[in-house]
Amino acid sequence: MFALRNRITGFAVIQQVLFHAFVSVLAIGIAFSLPTLANFVLNDWWPRVSASSRLLLATELALAATLVILFNVVHLAWEGLRVRRLHDTAALVHVRRDGKSASRKGAPATHDALILSVTGHHTFAEQNAPFHDLVSQCLEARVLLLNPCSEGARERIRSLPDPGEAERLYRQEIGASIAYLKALRDSGRRIRLKLYDRAPFWSIVIAGEQAWVRYCHDGYPLRTQPDYVFALRRDQPTQGLFPPFCMYALNQWNDPANAEYDFATGELVHRSPEGAELARAAFPQLAAA
């Protein structure tokens, strides 16, 4: 898991001072060396070049190569600045393209977490899951998982390469996630779980001022998809993609269509928008993986 590291203010100031001092010394050195360099080129080097065609060709090739390298460096620097501006605008702080969850290691400790996942097994339930420590240590965790008995789950499973195996794994993994959350709840943690019925679109983990996002691409297991990490911009909190992803996860949590799981009875509780209980539905006992 990637953690956005905030630089200490004093260290940042010292870094800027040292950088400006280095640039100033470099500029002074170049200025003082220009007369000597010009004298060498005009009086020593150029007479030799003009007298030798081979040395002239070598000088031209070296100058051309130097200019090509210089222009490429300037181009790369300009592109780097452009990409940096885009990253700052989107508040994107990290991308892991190979889909490995190791980029999620190191999530900041927080009092509460909001998790929108598919099965939750590879997100927080298994021992080596990237958010295992986060969920086990935070005081309050709100979790949304896919209802394995819903049409949305069947739609998701049908898109995967091996639907039969995927259905078996989904039931086992969701069962393991529920068992893990129940153990945390029994130990005194404030844990709430809801199950949604629609086919998954995003996998989102909100912890502190960061959001880990994966797109649930049809036909591909979630663990193979890239991680995108967005952070809250304190200077401009309405900018970047952290606020919309955070609001999306909150809206999914507050959606009354998503039933809450009762850890005591193992039932799904349907509530009104005001929170009043409307009905209860049986939920199958799922064997843990």
Q: Which domain CATH number covers 145?
A: 3.30.870
Identify whether 289 is part of a domain. Answer: no
pLDDT digits (tens, 9 = 90+) for 58-103: 877 887 888 888 888 888 887 777 777 777 778 888 887 755 544 4
Residues whose CB falls within 8 Å of the CB of residue 27, separated by 6 or more in sequence, listed in order: none
Q: Residue 21 half-sphere exposure, CB side, CA atoms within 13 Å?
A: 6
- Provide the number of structural domains found in the chain: 2
Mean pLDDT of the chain: 84
Residues 49, 178 share a domain:
no
Burial class of residue 136 (count of CB atoms within 10 Å of its CB; 0-12, 13-18, 19+): middle
Domain-embedded: residue 117: yes
Residues 82 and 107 grouped into a single domain: no
The domain of 196 spans 96-282
Percentage of the chain lying above the pLDDT 90 cut: 41
Question: Tens digit of pLDDT for each residue in 169-180?
Answer: 999 999 999 999
What CA–CA distances, in Å, run from 268 to 96, 180, 197, 238, 277?
36, 17, 12, 36, 11
Greater model confidence, 30 or 164: 164
Same domain, 120 and 161: yes
- Average confidence (pLDDT) over 118-147: 92
Instruction: Quickly state the pLDDT bin for 11 (edges 50, 70, 90).
Output: low
Range name among 63-77, 101-115, 275-289 with the lowest pLDDT average: 101-115
Between these two residues, 219 and 45, which has the higher pLDDT value? 219
Whether residue 207 has pLDDT greater than 50: yes
Regarding whether 213 and 74 lie in a shared domain, the answer is: no
- Whether the full predicted model's pTM is greater than 0.75, yes or no, is no
Same domain membership, residue 273 and residue 131: yes
Q: Which of 38, 72, 92 is the last residue of a domain?
A: 92
- Same domain assignment for residues 249 and 115: yes
Q: Judge if 163 and 131 occupy the same domain.
A: yes
* Helix, strand, coil share of the chain (percent; to 5): 50, 20, 30
